[in-house]
Amino acid sequence: LSAYKRFSELLPKEEREDAYSARVPKSQILTLPELRANPFQHRICHVFSTSETGDDSMSFEDFLDMLSVFSDSATSDVKSHYAFHIFDFNDDGILDRKDLEHLVNCLTGQGEECQLSITEMEQLIQNILEESDFDKDGTISLPEFQHVVSRSPDFARCSVLQR
């Protein structure tokens, strides 16, 4: 009931009675305090949205899925699965160098004063791949990502999917 109330409050007043069948625009989802300052807010909306138009709006079911993954009771496997898809910026099922660069830029900030030099970025990506790319194909697959995450006991508590 609490989730339904939060969802319906994101809708215009005239649509609240039919909240279960309505879709909340991405712009409204991004007003949630849990997403407002998250550097992956747009990717989170994209990953959880089932919109056929690609506008990243959310149905109540999408919203529940997102809240479930954000919850403290979600398993590390579930959180890592969704984190992987959030970090897969080009939606190709692997984390390649471009995805890792985009990930690092999101974490360090987008301003010029925050960006790493080309050398620093390359070294960081190389370090990430050395730790995570077990088959040495230059990318990180979901199983590789989940294996690395499983070695980090703080992941579920401190991940991109924390509320």
Is there a contact between 10 and 67 (Cβ–Cβ < 8 Å)? no
* Average pLDDT of the residues in 107-131: 86
pLDDT of residue 163: 41
Per the confidence metrics, is the pTM higher than 0.75?
Answer: yes
pLDDT of residue 115: 75
Q: Which pairs from 94-97 meet CB under 8 Å and 24+ separation?
A: 94/139, 94/140, 94/141, 95/139, 95/140, 95/141, 95/145, 96/138, 96/139, 97/125, 97/138
Distance CA 149, CA 137 (A): 19
Q: Is pLDDT of 116 > 90?
A: no
Range of lowest pLDDT (54-58, 69-73, 121-125, 155-159): 155-159
pLDDT per position as a tens digit, 43-58: 999 999 999 999 999 9
CATH architecture assignment, domain 3-70: Orthogonal Bundle (1.10)
More confident residue, 163 or 12: 12
pLDDT of residue 151: 86
Largest CA distance in the chain: 55
Q: Which two tokens stand for residue 3?
A: 């989730």
- Residue span(s) of the chain under CATH 1.10.238.10 come to 3-70, 76-158
Fold observed for domain 76-158: Recoverin; domain 1 (1.10.238)
pLDDT of residue 152: 81
More confident residue, 113 or 126: 126
Nearest to 104 by CA among 85, 89, 82, 93: 89
Q: Which two tokens stand for residue 118?
A: 């080309």
Distance CA 28, CA 133 (A): 37
